[in-house]
Amino acid sequence: MLELKTEKQHNIVSKRFAFRRYLMNYLGLAPFFILFVIFILMPIVQGIVMSFTDWSTASRGILNFVGLENYKFVLSGEGTSSRRFFISLKNLAIYVPITIVIGLSISLALALIVRHIQGRLYKIYRNIFFIPTVLPIFLCVGIWQWFMTSDVGILATLLEKVGIGENVNWTETAGYAIALVVMIDVWNAVGFNFIIFITGMQDISQELYEAAEIDGATTFQKMRYITIPLLEPIIFLVITYSFFSALQVYDIPWILSNTSDINSVGGTGQVMLFPVMEMVRNVYNGSASGLGRASAEGVILMIIIIIVTLILFKLRRKTV
């Protein structure tokens, strides 16, 4: 009995000592957790709670719980708002895989090419590719609108010569509108992904490439059996981040809509309407339960993001 009591006292003293020893570490982590709770966790909880109410801009903060009514309305496919949300999800399903595949391919290809360049020329290329990333989104959109203006834009004129987009308004035509959003997004993000890839390649030991050259490996074989496998964690990081970003697309199509009417965002026929845009429209169009329905749409999008993330991690475990 005495031994058990002594052991228990020893454990208590050990825990107190460990807490004091790591107190500064806990204090160092505290600001992150405080900000995480205030700016991420609390808004998420508040949004989930709001999704079960009829809150709108006209309700003046008075909340009436309506249960699953907002979710039923959003998923019913009945009513303008519900139909618009389904259109936005369809556009998102088209947009996400295209922008990720194209963006990943271009940034990886650029990194594979530039890594063989040495000296000042390497720095010049690296800075040129990164410039679109630091430009404001509205400026990127403005540049591409000029590129894609029929009969005037450089790129639009070149595409028309090969039979693509002849006499087409790129921001108002189904298919072309999403293609324009993809081009702007890829152009804006490719520099960021390029920097991540090129940094990851610099950590690969040159001895591996030298050994492969001695064995007679070609450039393609070195890329396939050395570069790509060792870059797998970096590639997974870029894919995951790109999914998060693509699923929340908002600013580019909103600016392209170029309208002062909140109900006209997404262009004619909602050809470039996405879920976050529809949430914002619900908040500000003054409809009944606008904030509640927008919150329900946000929760649905959050669930989609979580499911996609879990699938990505599951697939990675199977391949690693």
Q: Which CATH number does the domain housing residue 292 bear?
A: 1.10.3720.10
Do both 46 and 114 map to the same domain? no
Q: Is residue 202 part of a domain?
A: yes
pLDDT for the residue 61 = 61
Same domain, 19 and 105: no
77 and 43 within one domain: no
pLDDT, position 6:
55
Mean pLDDT score, 212-235:
87
User: Which of the given ranges, 40-44, 61-65, 156-160, has the highest pLDDT on average?
Assistant: 40-44
- Residue 57 in any domain: the answer is no
What is the phi/psi pair of residue 51, to 5°?
-65, -15
SS (H, E, C) 105-123: HHHHHHHHHHCCCCCHHHH
Domain that holds residue 43: 2-50
Domain contains 145: yes
| pLDDT at res. 4 | 44
- Among 33-37, 124-128, 170-174, the range with the most confident prediction by mean pLDDT is 33-37
Distances (CA, A) of 239 to 23, 180, 221, 244: 37, 21, 23, 9
Same domain, 135 and 78: yes
* Token output for 219: 């450039």
Judge whether residue 319 has pLDDT over 80. no
127 and 27 within one domain? no
Give mean pLDDT, residues 185-189. 93
Does residue 24 belong to any structural domain of this protein? yes
The reply to whether 178 and 46 lie within a common domain is no
When pLDDT is averaged across residues 141-165 and rounded to a whole number, the result is 85
Cα separation, 204 vs 112, whole angstroms: 13
pTM, whole model, 2 decimals?
0.85
CA angle (107 as vertex; 106, 111 as ends), nearest 5: 115
Count of structural domains within the chain: 2
53 phi/psi in degrees, rounded to 5: -125, 170
Assess whether 29 and 138 both reside in one domain. Answer: no
Both 139 and 202 in a single domain? yes
Say if 63 falls within a structural domain: no
Task: Give the residue from 252, 209, 239 showing the smallest Cα distance to 108.
Answer: 239
- Predicted confidence (pLDDT) at residue 19 exceeds the cutoff of 50: yes
Q: Does 264 map to a domain?
A: yes
Residue 253 falls within a domain, yes or no? Answer: yes
Let me know if residue 55 belongs to a domain: no
**Does 257 lie in the same domain as 202?**
yes
Do 188 and 246 belong to one domain?
yes
Q: What is the pLDDT of residue 185?
A: 94
Whether residues 303 and 176 share a domain: the answer is: yes
Tell which residue, 296, 302, 250, 237, has the closest CA to residue 277: 250
pLDDT above 70: residue 12: no
Judge if 145 and 256 occupy the same domain.
yes
